Structure 1
Amino acid sequence: MTTTNRPEAAPAVEQAEQHAAEAEQALTAMEERVRDGDEDVTPAQLAEARELGRFARLRAEAARRKAERAAAKAAEKERARLTARAVTLVEQDADPAAVATAYEQARTALAALVAAVTTHDNALRQAAHLLRQADAPPITHYVPVQRGEHKFEEVQHAPASRTAPTVEQGDSAALSLETGRTRNAVGTGPTLATLLAETAHQHDVAMPAGESAFTAAPIGDHAHRHADAIRRFLDTATQQTPEGTK
Protein backbone atom coordinates (compact mmCIF):
# COMPACT_ATOMS: atom_id res chain seq x y z
CA MET A 1 0.00 0.00 0.00
CA THR A 2 1.43 3.38 -1.04
CA THR A 3 1.60 6.15 1.56
CA THR A 4 2.77 9.79 1.43
CA ASN A 5 4.12 12.17 4.06
CA ARG A 6 1.15 14.51 3.59
CA PRO A 7 -2.41 13.40 2.92
CA GLU A 8 -4.39 14.85 0.07
CA ALA A 9 -5.83 18.20 1.23
CA ALA A 10 -9.41 17.98 2.46
CA PRO A 11 -11.87 20.86 1.87
CA ALA A 12 -11.50 21.99 5.50
CA VAL A 13 -7.72 22.13 5.14
CA GLU A 14 -7.94 24.05 1.87
CA GLN A 15 -10.34 26.55 3.41
CA ALA A 16 -8.13 27.08 6.48
CA GLU A 17 -5.05 27.55 4.32
CA GLN A 18 -6.96 30.03 2.15
CA HIS A 19 -7.90 32.05 5.24
CA ALA A 20 -4.27 31.99 6.42
CA ALA A 21 -3.10 33.18 3.00
CA GLU A 22 -5.67 35.99 3.00
CA ALA A 23 -4.62 37.08 6.51
CA GLU A 24 -0.97 37.02 5.39
CA GLN A 25 -1.82 39.19 2.39
CA ALA A 26 -3.80 41.63 4.55
CA LEU A 27 -0.89 41.99 6.97
CA THR A 28 1.58 42.50 4.12
CA ALA A 29 -0.66 45.16 2.59
CA MET A 30 -1.04 46.96 5.91
CA GLU A 31 2.71 46.91 6.54
CA GLU A 32 3.26 48.31 3.03
CA ARG A 33 0.82 51.15 3.80
CA VAL A 34 2.86 52.01 6.86
CA ARG A 35 6.04 52.01 4.76
CA ASP A 36 4.32 54.35 2.30
CA GLY A 37 3.52 56.79 5.14
CA ASP A 38 -0.17 56.05 5.66
CA GLU A 39 -0.84 57.56 9.09
CA ASP A 40 -4.34 55.99 9.28
CA VAL A 41 -2.82 52.62 10.19
CA THR A 42 -2.43 52.38 13.95
CA PRO A 43 -0.11 50.11 15.91
CA ALA A 44 -3.15 48.37 17.33
CA GLN A 45 -4.46 47.61 13.86
CA LEU A 46 -1.09 46.28 12.80
CA ALA A 47 -0.80 44.12 15.92
CA GLU A 48 -4.32 42.85 15.42
CA ALA A 49 -3.54 41.96 11.80
CA ARG A 50 -0.43 40.07 12.91
CA GLU A 51 -2.40 38.17 15.55
CA LEU A 52 -5.14 37.38 13.05
CA GLY A 53 -2.55 36.05 10.58
CA ARG A 54 -0.83 33.97 13.26
CA PHE A 55 -4.18 32.62 14.43
CA ALA A 56 -5.17 31.76 10.85
CA ARG A 57 -1.89 29.90 10.36
CA LEU A 58 -2.50 27.97 13.59
CA ARG A 59 -6.00 27.07 12.41
CA ALA A 60 -4.61 25.88 9.08
CA GLU A 61 -2.03 23.76 10.89
CA ALA A 62 -4.77 22.36 13.13
CA ALA A 63 -6.87 21.45 10.10
CA ARG A 64 -3.90 19.78 8.41
CA ARG A 65 -3.05 17.75 11.52
CA LYS A 66 -6.67 16.68 11.85
CA ALA A 67 -6.66 15.53 8.22
CA GLU A 68 -3.40 13.66 8.76
CA ARG A 69 -4.81 11.89 11.80
CA ALA A 70 -7.92 10.95 9.83
CA ALA A 71 -5.78 9.68 6.94
CA ALA A 72 -3.58 7.69 9.30
CA LYS A 73 -6.64 6.17 10.94
CA ALA A 74 -8.09 5.26 7.54
CA ALA A 75 -4.75 3.78 6.45
CA GLU A 76 -4.55 1.70 9.62
CA LYS A 77 -8.10 0.49 9.08
CA GLU A 78 -7.21 -0.51 5.50
CA ARG A 79 -4.07 -2.31 6.69
CA ALA A 80 -6.16 -4.22 9.21
CA ARG A 81 -8.69 -5.13 6.50
CA LEU A 82 -6.00 -6.36 4.12
CA THR A 83 -4.28 -8.30 6.89
CA ALA A 84 -7.54 -9.96 7.95
CA ARG A 85 -8.28 -10.86 4.32
CA ALA A 86 -4.82 -12.37 3.90
CA VAL A 87 -5.17 -14.44 7.07
CA THR A 88 -8.63 -15.63 5.97
CA LEU A 89 -7.26 -16.71 2.59
CA VAL A 90 -4.49 -18.70 4.26
CA GLU A 91 -6.78 -20.34 6.79
CA GLN A 92 -9.55 -21.18 4.30
CA ASP A 93 -7.75 -22.00 1.05
CA ALA A 94 -4.05 -22.66 1.72
CA ASP A 95 -4.36 -26.32 2.75
CA PRO A 96 -1.10 -28.28 2.46
CA ALA A 97 -2.84 -31.47 3.58
CA ALA A 98 -5.30 -31.19 0.68
CA VAL A 99 -2.37 -30.71 -1.72
CA ALA A 100 -0.61 -33.78 -0.31
CA THR A 101 -3.76 -35.88 -0.62
CA ALA A 102 -4.35 -34.78 -4.21
CA TYR A 103 -0.68 -35.46 -5.00
CA GLU A 104 -0.95 -39.04 -3.74
CA GLN A 105 -4.21 -39.56 -5.65
CA ALA A 106 -2.61 -38.24 -8.83
CA ARG A 107 0.45 -40.45 -8.35
CA THR A 108 -1.80 -43.48 -7.89
CA ALA A 109 -3.78 -42.56 -11.00
CA LEU A 110 -0.61 -42.04 -13.03
CA ALA A 111 0.76 -45.37 -11.85
CA ALA A 112 -2.47 -47.02 -13.03
CA LEU A 113 -2.16 -45.24 -16.39
CA VAL A 114 1.46 -46.38 -16.81
CA ALA A 115 0.47 -49.95 -15.89
CA ALA A 116 -2.42 -49.92 -18.39
CA VAL A 117 -0.21 -48.59 -21.20
CA THR A 118 2.53 -51.08 -20.34
CA THR A 119 0.07 -53.99 -20.41
CA HIS A 120 -1.39 -52.76 -23.70
CA ASP A 121 2.02 -52.29 -25.35
CA ASN A 122 3.45 -55.59 -24.08
CA ALA A 123 0.42 -57.45 -25.43
CA LEU A 124 0.89 -55.85 -28.86
CA ARG A 125 4.63 -56.61 -28.91
CA GLN A 126 4.10 -60.25 -27.97
CA ALA A 127 1.21 -60.63 -30.41
CA ALA A 128 3.23 -59.06 -33.24
CA HIS A 129 6.12 -61.39 -32.48
CA LEU A 130 3.79 -64.40 -32.58
CA LEU A 131 2.22 -63.29 -35.85
CA ARG A 132 5.62 -62.87 -37.47
CA GLN A 133 6.48 -66.38 -36.31
CA ALA A 134 3.23 -67.52 -37.90
CA ASP A 135 4.27 -65.83 -41.18
CA ALA A 136 1.38 -63.40 -41.09
CA PRO A 137 1.42 -61.05 -44.10
CA PRO A 138 2.42 -57.39 -43.78
CA ILE A 139 -0.18 -54.76 -42.96
CA THR A 140 0.33 -52.90 -46.23
CA HIS A 141 1.28 -53.91 -49.73
CA TYR A 142 1.85 -52.22 -53.08
CA VAL A 143 -0.82 -52.54 -55.73
CA PRO A 144 -0.18 -51.60 -59.39
CA VAL A 145 -2.48 -48.78 -60.47
CA GLN A 146 -2.91 -47.22 -63.91
CA ARG A 147 -4.60 -43.89 -64.42
CA GLY A 148 -4.70 -42.87 -68.02
CA GLU A 149 -1.25 -43.30 -69.46
CA HIS A 150 0.42 -43.34 -66.04
CA LYS A 151 1.28 -46.47 -64.10
CA PHE A 152 2.39 -46.43 -60.48
CA GLU A 153 2.17 -48.44 -57.29
CA GLU A 154 -0.22 -47.45 -54.56
CA VAL A 155 0.13 -48.45 -50.91
CA GLN A 156 -2.99 -50.21 -49.66
CA HIS A 157 -3.95 -52.06 -46.52
CA ALA A 158 -3.89 -55.79 -46.94
CA PRO A 159 -7.09 -57.67 -46.02
CA ALA A 160 -7.04 -58.50 -42.31
CA SER A 161 -9.35 -60.27 -39.88
CA ARG A 162 -9.24 -62.01 -36.53
CA THR A 163 -8.55 -65.31 -38.27
CA ALA A 164 -6.08 -63.81 -40.73
CA PRO A 165 -4.28 -60.88 -39.07
CA THR A 166 -1.54 -58.80 -40.64
CA VAL A 167 1.58 -57.52 -38.90
CA GLU A 168 4.21 -54.84 -39.35
CA GLN A 169 7.52 -56.36 -40.34
CA GLY A 170 10.69 -55.82 -38.31
CA ASP A 171 10.42 -55.20 -34.57
CA SER A 172 7.45 -52.84 -34.61
CA ALA A 173 4.56 -53.56 -32.22
CA ALA A 174 1.91 -52.92 -34.88
CA LEU A 175 -0.69 -55.31 -36.23
CA SER A 176 -4.14 -55.38 -37.73
CA LEU A 177 -7.15 -57.56 -36.96
CA GLU A 178 -9.41 -55.57 -39.27
CA THR A 179 -8.65 -54.22 -42.72
CA GLY A 180 -7.61 -50.57 -42.56
CA ARG A 181 -7.30 -50.47 -38.78
CA THR A 182 -3.81 -50.73 -37.31
CA ARG A 183 -3.14 -51.25 -33.63
CA ASN A 184 0.09 -49.70 -32.33
CA ALA A 185 1.98 -49.53 -29.07
CA VAL A 186 1.48 -46.08 -27.54
CA GLY A 187 4.43 -45.85 -25.14
CA THR A 188 4.36 -44.81 -21.48
CA GLY A 189 6.66 -41.83 -22.05
CA PRO A 190 4.67 -40.26 -24.88
CA THR A 191 1.45 -40.87 -22.96
CA LEU A 192 2.67 -39.12 -19.82
CA ALA A 193 4.25 -36.28 -21.81
CA THR A 194 1.00 -35.68 -23.70
CA LEU A 195 -1.07 -35.80 -20.52
CA LEU A 196 1.17 -33.28 -18.75
CA ALA A 197 1.26 -30.98 -21.78
CA GLU A 198 -2.55 -31.06 -22.04
CA THR A 199 -2.84 -30.31 -18.33
CA ALA A 200 -0.43 -27.38 -18.62
CA HIS A 201 -2.40 -26.06 -21.60
CA GLN A 202 -5.80 -26.34 -19.93
CA HIS A 203 -4.79 -25.07 -16.49
CA ASP A 204 -2.51 -22.43 -15.03
CA VAL A 205 0.64 -24.48 -14.47
CA ALA A 206 2.98 -21.79 -13.16
CA MET A 207 6.74 -21.95 -12.65
CA PRO A 208 8.79 -19.67 -10.35
CA ALA A 209 9.69 -16.29 -11.82
CA GLY A 210 12.63 -16.42 -14.19
CA GLU A 211 12.33 -20.13 -14.99
CA SER A 212 11.34 -21.77 -18.23
CA ALA A 213 7.68 -22.49 -18.80
CA PHE A 214 6.55 -25.93 -17.67
CA THR A 215 6.40 -27.26 -21.22
CA ALA A 216 9.57 -25.47 -22.41
CA ALA A 217 12.10 -27.61 -20.55
CA PRO A 218 12.55 -31.35 -19.96
CA ILE A 219 10.60 -32.70 -17.00
CA GLY A 220 13.88 -33.88 -15.48
CA ASP A 221 15.19 -30.31 -15.37
CA HIS A 222 12.16 -29.08 -13.44
CA ALA A 223 12.30 -32.05 -11.08
CA HIS A 224 16.03 -31.57 -10.47
CA ARG A 225 15.40 -27.99 -9.35
CA HIS A 226 12.29 -28.51 -7.28
CA ALA A 227 11.97 -32.15 -6.19
CA ASP A 228 13.58 -31.59 -2.77
CA ALA A 229 11.38 -28.58 -1.97
CA ILE A 230 8.24 -30.39 -3.10
CA ARG A 231 9.13 -33.44 -1.05
CA ARG A 232 9.72 -31.30 2.06
CA PHE A 233 6.37 -29.59 1.49
CA LEU A 234 4.56 -32.92 1.17
CA ASP A 235 6.32 -34.42 4.18
CA THR A 236 5.36 -31.42 6.31
CA ALA A 237 1.80 -31.44 5.01
CA THR A 238 1.25 -35.09 5.89
CA GLN A 239 2.50 -34.45 9.43
CA GLN A 240 -0.25 -31.91 10.19
CA THR A 241 -2.63 -32.55 13.04
CA PRO A 242 -6.33 -33.16 12.26
CA GLU A 243 -7.00 -29.53 13.26
CA GLY A 244 -4.61 -28.36 10.56
CA THR A 245 -1.88 -27.12 12.92
CA LYS A 246 1.34 -26.64 11.04
Structure 2
Amino acid sequence: MSTTSTTDLTPAQAREALAAAEKEKGEAQGLADALAERARDGDPDVTPAKLAEARQLADFAELRITAAERKLTAAEAADRAARAEQLAADARQLVTDDDHGPLAEAIRDAAAAVNALIDVAQARSNRIRSINQRIRALEGEFEQVGAPGDLALHHGVARHPEGTIVTGQPMVTLLSAAELVAAAVRLATGQDKLSEGELSQAFDGPDATLGRVMKAMPSLAEEWRHSPEEWACMGRSAQAHALSTRRAPVGVKAPDPASAHPHHATREGR
Protein backbone atom coordinates (compact mmCIF):
# COMPACT_ATOMS: atom_id res chain seq x y z
CA MET A 1 0.00 0.00 0.00
CA SER A 2 1.42 3.40 -0.99
CA THR A 3 1.84 6.13 1.58
CA THR A 4 1.70 9.92 1.14
CA SER A 5 5.01 11.66 1.71
CA THR A 6 5.07 14.51 4.21
CA THR A 7 6.09 16.95 1.47
CA ASP A 8 3.27 15.72 -0.79
CA LEU A 9 0.71 17.42 1.42
CA THR A 10 -0.30 20.97 0.81
CA PRO A 11 -0.59 23.22 3.88
CA ALA A 12 -4.37 23.12 3.52
CA GLN A 13 -4.39 19.31 3.45
CA ALA A 14 -2.03 19.18 6.42
CA ARG A 15 -4.32 21.50 8.40
CA GLU A 16 -7.29 19.28 7.59
CA ALA A 17 -5.31 16.25 8.81
CA LEU A 18 -4.40 18.07 12.02
CA ALA A 19 -8.03 19.02 12.61
CA ALA A 20 -9.07 15.39 12.08
CA ALA A 21 -6.39 14.17 14.53
CA GLU A 22 -7.52 16.70 17.15
CA LYS A 23 -11.12 15.59 16.69
CA GLU A 24 -10.08 11.95 17.01
CA LYS A 25 -8.16 12.77 20.21
CA GLY A 26 -11.16 14.56 21.64
CA GLU A 27 -13.43 11.60 20.94
CA ALA A 28 -10.94 9.06 22.36
CA GLN A 29 -10.29 11.14 25.47
CA GLY A 30 -14.00 11.61 25.96
CA LEU A 31 -14.56 7.83 25.79
CA ALA A 32 -11.74 7.15 28.27
CA ASP A 33 -13.04 9.80 30.68
CA ALA A 34 -16.57 8.39 30.43
CA LEU A 35 -15.38 4.82 31.15
CA ALA A 36 -13.34 6.06 34.10
CA GLU A 37 -16.36 7.85 35.51
CA ARG A 38 -18.55 4.73 35.07
CA ALA A 39 -15.92 2.72 36.93
CA ARG A 40 -16.05 5.21 39.78
CA ASP A 41 -19.82 4.73 39.83
CA GLY A 42 -19.32 0.97 40.21
CA ASP A 43 -20.44 -0.09 36.70
CA PRO A 44 -19.57 -3.83 36.49
CA ASP A 45 -19.36 -3.69 32.69
CA VAL A 46 -16.24 -1.48 32.83
CA THR A 47 -13.23 -3.76 32.99
CA PRO A 48 -9.59 -2.82 33.44
CA ALA A 49 -8.93 -4.00 29.87
CA LYS A 50 -11.63 -1.73 28.42
CA LEU A 51 -10.40 1.26 30.38
CA ALA A 52 -6.77 0.60 29.46
CA GLU A 53 -7.71 0.21 25.79
CA ALA A 54 -9.62 3.52 25.83
CA ARG A 55 -6.71 5.32 27.47
CA GLN A 56 -4.29 3.78 25.00
CA LEU A 57 -6.47 5.04 22.14
CA ALA A 58 -6.42 8.54 23.67
CA ASP A 59 -2.63 8.42 24.06
CA PHE A 60 -2.25 7.18 20.49
CA ALA A 61 -4.53 9.97 19.26
CA GLU A 62 -2.22 12.45 21.00
CA LEU A 63 0.72 10.99 19.07
CA ARG A 64 -1.25 11.39 15.86
CA ILE A 65 -1.71 15.06 16.71
CA THR A 66 2.05 15.44 17.11
CA ALA A 67 2.58 13.67 13.78
CA ALA A 68 0.00 15.92 12.09
CA GLU A 69 1.67 19.04 13.52
CA ARG A 70 5.04 17.93 12.19
CA LYS A 71 3.52 17.25 8.79
CA LEU A 72 1.94 20.69 8.80
CA THR A 73 5.28 22.30 9.65
CA ALA A 74 6.97 20.36 6.85
CA ALA A 75 4.19 21.15 4.39
CA GLU A 76 4.35 24.86 5.19
CA ALA A 77 8.15 24.84 4.83
CA ALA A 78 7.92 23.04 1.49
CA ASP A 79 5.23 25.42 0.29
CA ARG A 80 7.23 28.45 1.41
CA ALA A 81 10.35 27.16 -0.34
CA ALA A 82 8.41 26.50 -3.53
CA ARG A 83 6.86 29.97 -3.50
CA ALA A 84 10.25 31.55 -2.80
CA GLU A 85 11.76 29.69 -5.75
CA GLN A 86 8.91 30.78 -7.99
CA LEU A 87 9.24 34.35 -6.78
CA ALA A 88 12.98 34.31 -7.53
CA ALA A 89 12.28 32.98 -11.02
CA ASP A 90 9.64 35.66 -11.60
CA ALA A 91 12.03 38.36 -10.39
CA ARG A 92 14.77 37.12 -12.72
CA GLN A 93 12.26 37.14 -15.57
CA LEU A 94 11.27 40.70 -14.63
CA VAL A 95 14.89 41.78 -15.02
CA THR A 96 15.03 40.07 -18.41
CA ASP A 97 11.75 41.55 -19.63
CA ASP A 98 12.18 45.08 -18.22
CA ASP A 99 12.33 47.17 -21.39
CA HIS A 100 12.71 50.90 -20.84
CA GLY A 101 11.94 51.61 -24.48
CA PRO A 102 8.16 52.13 -24.25
CA LEU A 103 8.55 54.02 -20.97
CA ALA A 104 11.24 56.30 -22.41
CA GLU A 105 9.13 56.97 -25.50
CA ALA A 106 6.14 57.91 -23.35
CA ILE A 107 8.34 60.23 -21.26
CA ARG A 108 9.69 61.87 -24.42
CA ASP A 109 6.16 62.44 -25.72
CA ALA A 110 5.02 63.84 -22.36
CA ALA A 111 8.08 66.10 -22.11
CA ALA A 112 7.46 67.44 -25.62
CA ALA A 113 3.81 68.14 -24.76
CA VAL A 114 4.82 69.90 -21.53
CA ASN A 115 7.38 71.98 -23.42
CA ALA A 116 4.72 73.02 -25.94
CA LEU A 117 2.34 73.92 -23.12
CA ILE A 118 5.01 76.06 -21.45
CA ASP A 119 5.70 77.91 -24.71
CA VAL A 120 2.00 78.70 -25.21
CA ALA A 121 1.54 79.68 -21.55
CA GLN A 122 4.56 81.97 -21.48
CA ALA A 123 3.57 83.67 -24.74
CA ARG A 124 0.11 84.36 -23.30
CA SER A 125 1.54 85.63 -20.00
CA ASN A 126 4.01 87.88 -21.79
CA ARG A 127 1.19 89.42 -23.80
CA ILE A 128 -0.88 90.09 -20.65
CA ARG A 129 2.10 91.64 -18.89
CA SER A 130 2.88 93.78 -21.93
CA ILE A 131 -0.67 95.16 -21.96
CA ASN A 132 -0.53 95.82 -18.23
CA GLN A 133 2.78 97.65 -18.60
CA ARG A 134 1.26 99.86 -21.28
CA ILE A 135 -1.79 100.49 -19.06
CA ARG A 136 0.49 101.46 -16.19
CA ALA A 137 2.48 103.83 -18.36
CA LEU A 138 -0.64 105.52 -19.75
CA GLU A 139 -2.17 105.73 -16.27
CA GLY A 140 0.89 107.74 -15.29
CA GLU A 141 0.34 110.14 -18.17
CA PHE A 142 -3.32 110.66 -17.20
CA GLU A 143 -2.25 111.35 -13.62
CA GLN A 144 0.24 113.95 -14.82
CA VAL A 145 -2.51 115.88 -16.65
CA GLY A 146 -4.81 115.68 -13.65
CA ALA A 147 -7.12 112.96 -14.91
CA PRO A 148 -6.34 109.90 -12.78
CA GLY A 149 -8.61 106.97 -13.50
CA ASP A 150 -9.63 108.38 -16.86
CA LEU A 151 -8.24 105.36 -18.70
CA ALA A 152 -10.49 102.96 -16.83
CA LEU A 153 -13.47 105.30 -16.72
CA HIS A 154 -13.59 106.36 -20.36
CA HIS A 155 -11.70 103.60 -22.10
CA GLY A 156 -12.70 100.61 -19.98
CA VAL A 157 -9.28 99.08 -19.40
CA ALA A 158 -7.42 98.52 -16.15
CA ARG A 159 -4.61 96.39 -14.82
CA HIS A 160 -4.94 93.95 -11.97
CA PRO A 161 -2.35 91.89 -10.04
CA GLU A 162 -3.92 88.77 -11.52
CA GLY A 163 -4.46 89.96 -15.08
CA THR A 164 -6.08 92.56 -17.34
CA ILE A 165 -9.55 94.01 -16.93
CA VAL A 166 -11.74 95.23 -19.79
CA THR A 167 -15.09 96.67 -18.74
CA GLY A 168 -17.97 94.31 -19.49
CA GLN A 169 -15.68 91.36 -20.19
CA PRO A 170 -14.28 88.56 -18.02
CA MET A 171 -10.85 89.37 -16.66
CA VAL A 172 -7.97 87.91 -18.63
CA THR A 173 -6.28 86.02 -15.79
CA LEU A 174 -2.56 85.41 -15.58
CA LEU A 175 -1.82 81.69 -15.30
CA SER A 176 1.76 80.62 -14.78
CA ALA A 177 3.26 77.86 -16.87
CA ALA A 178 3.82 75.86 -13.69
CA GLU A 179 0.13 76.10 -12.78
CA LEU A 180 -0.90 74.95 -16.23
CA VAL A 181 1.55 72.05 -16.21
CA ALA A 182 0.21 70.96 -12.81
CA ALA A 183 -3.37 71.30 -14.06
CA ALA A 184 -2.60 69.24 -17.17
CA VAL A 185 -0.99 66.51 -15.09
CA ARG A 186 -3.95 66.44 -12.72
CA LEU A 187 -6.40 66.27 -15.61
CA ALA A 188 -4.44 63.39 -17.10
CA THR A 189 -4.22 61.41 -13.88
CA GLY A 190 -7.57 62.04 -12.26
CA GLN A 191 -8.24 60.63 -8.81
CA ASP A 192 -8.47 57.06 -10.03
CA LYS A 193 -4.92 56.82 -11.39
CA LEU A 194 -2.78 58.88 -9.02
CA SER A 195 -3.72 60.37 -5.68
CA GLU A 196 -3.03 63.99 -4.82
CA GLY A 197 -0.60 62.78 -2.17
CA GLU A 198 1.44 60.83 -4.71
CA LEU A 199 1.62 63.82 -7.04
CA SER A 200 2.48 66.19 -4.20
CA GLN A 201 5.33 63.95 -3.12
CA ALA A 202 6.75 63.69 -6.64
CA PHE A 203 6.36 67.40 -7.42
CA ASP A 204 7.58 68.57 -4.01
CA GLY A 205 11.14 67.94 -5.17
CA PRO A 206 11.00 67.67 -8.98
CA ASP A 207 14.78 67.73 -9.42
CA ALA A 208 15.17 64.87 -6.95
CA THR A 209 12.41 62.97 -8.75
CA LEU A 210 14.10 63.53 -12.10
CA GLY A 211 17.43 62.39 -10.68
CA ARG A 212 15.86 59.21 -9.33
CA VAL A 213 14.25 58.45 -12.70
CA MET A 214 17.51 59.06 -14.53
CA LYS A 215 19.36 56.76 -12.14
CA ALA A 216 16.78 54.00 -12.67
CA MET A 217 16.76 54.47 -16.47
CA PRO A 218 20.38 54.85 -17.66
CA SER A 219 19.33 54.75 -21.32
CA LEU A 220 17.07 57.76 -20.82
CA ALA A 221 19.74 59.57 -18.83
CA GLU A 222 22.22 58.93 -21.63
CA GLU A 223 19.80 60.38 -24.17
CA TRP A 224 19.27 63.57 -22.17
CA ARG A 225 22.80 63.90 -20.87
CA HIS A 226 24.56 67.20 -21.61
CA SER A 227 27.54 67.05 -23.93
CA PRO A 228 30.96 68.26 -22.76
CA GLU A 229 30.56 71.25 -25.06
CA GLU A 230 27.22 72.18 -23.49
CA TRP A 231 28.70 71.68 -20.04
CA ALA A 232 31.55 74.07 -20.77
CA CYS A 233 29.06 76.83 -21.67
CA MET A 234 26.85 76.31 -18.61
CA GLY A 235 26.91 78.50 -15.52
CA ARG A 236 27.44 77.09 -12.03
CA SER A 237 23.72 76.95 -11.29
CA ALA A 238 22.99 75.05 -14.49
CA GLN A 239 25.88 72.69 -13.83
CA ALA A 240 24.66 72.04 -10.29
CA HIS A 241 21.20 71.29 -11.64
CA ALA A 242 22.65 68.91 -14.23
CA LEU A 243 24.60 67.11 -11.51
CA SER A 244 21.59 66.78 -9.22
CA THR A 245 19.46 65.37 -12.04
CA ARG A 246 22.21 63.06 -13.31
CA ARG A 247 22.49 64.79 -16.68
CA ALA A 248 26.08 65.92 -16.40
CA PRO A 249 28.61 64.54 -18.92
CA VAL A 250 30.13 61.18 -18.09
CA GLY A 251 33.02 61.52 -15.65
CA VAL A 252 31.97 64.89 -14.24
CA LYS A 253 31.61 64.85 -10.47
CA ALA A 254 30.30 67.34 -7.96
CA PRO A 255 33.02 69.79 -6.86
CA ASP A 256 34.65 69.33 -3.49
CA PRO A 257 33.15 71.94 -1.11
CA ALA A 258 36.61 72.64 0.28
CA SER A 259 38.01 73.37 -3.17
CA ALA A 260 35.13 75.73 -3.91
CA HIS A 261 36.32 78.05 -1.09
CA PRO A 262 40.13 78.09 -1.27
CA HIS A 263 40.30 81.21 0.93
CA HIS A 264 39.09 79.11 3.88
CA ALA A 265 42.59 77.89 4.58
CA THR A 266 43.39 75.72 7.57
CA ARG A 267 45.64 76.93 10.39
CA GLU A 268 48.40 74.56 9.23
CA GLY A 269 48.28 75.94 5.67
CA ARG A 270 48.58 79.57 6.65
TM-score for both structures, normalised by structure 1: 0.48
Bigger proportion of residues as strand: 1
TM-score for both structures, normalised by structure 2: 0.45
Between the two structures, name the one with larger relative contact order (CA 8 Å, sep ≥ 6): 1
Bigger proportion of residues as helix: 2
Looking at CA atoms only, which structure, 1 or 2, has the larger radius of gyration?
A: 1
